[in-house]
Structure 1
Amino acid sequence: MSIIVITAIASLLIAGVFLAALVWSIKDGQYEDDYAPPNRILFDENNTKNK
């Protein structure tokens, strides 16, 4: 029975680490530009300037 308590605490600690990493990446601005990356692939300006 004590192994269940240990694994529950360990899983909550791991989940807390991932939650902290998510909050840190959101505050850092990682998810701000959600429109440009798909369009960057379709409209590559470097290839059109070289031709």
Structure 2
Amino acid sequence: MSILLLLVPLALMLLIVAIAAFAWAVRGGQFEDLETPALSILADDEPPVANESPERRDDA
């Protein structure tokens, strides 16, 4: 029964830390734009430039 004297305050402190982290993320704008990151995977990459020459290495 004495373990409850340790676990209940520890759980309450953990809850306060979680709420504070969530509030900090909301104030920081982490949840403002939920659609753009999901759509960025659908965007085409830029085509490679054909005039670029590969780098040469001299191992001599």
**Which TM-score tier does this pair reach, normalised by the shorter chain?**
0.7 to 0.9
Structure with more helix by fraction = 1
CA RMSD after TM alignment: 1.3
Corresponding position of 2:51? none
Question: Percent of aligned pairs with the same residue?
Answer: 33
The one-letter amino acid of 1:13's match is M
Displacement of 1:2 in angstroms is: 2.2
Alignment partner of 1:24 is 2:24? yes
The structure with the larger Rg is: 2
**Deviating 4+ runs (over 6 angstroms):** none
TM-score by length of 1: 0.80
Task: Kindly indicate whether structure 1 or structure 2 has the higher relative contact order, using CA contacts under 8 Å at least 6 residues apart.
Answer: 1
Which residues of structure 1 form unaligned runs of 5+?
A: none
Corresponding position of 1:50? 47
The one-letter amino acid of 1:50's match is P
Displacement of 1:25 in angstroms is: 0.5
Which residues of structure 2 form unaligned runs of 5+?
A: 49-60
Residue correspondences, number: 48
Corresponding position of 1:6? 6
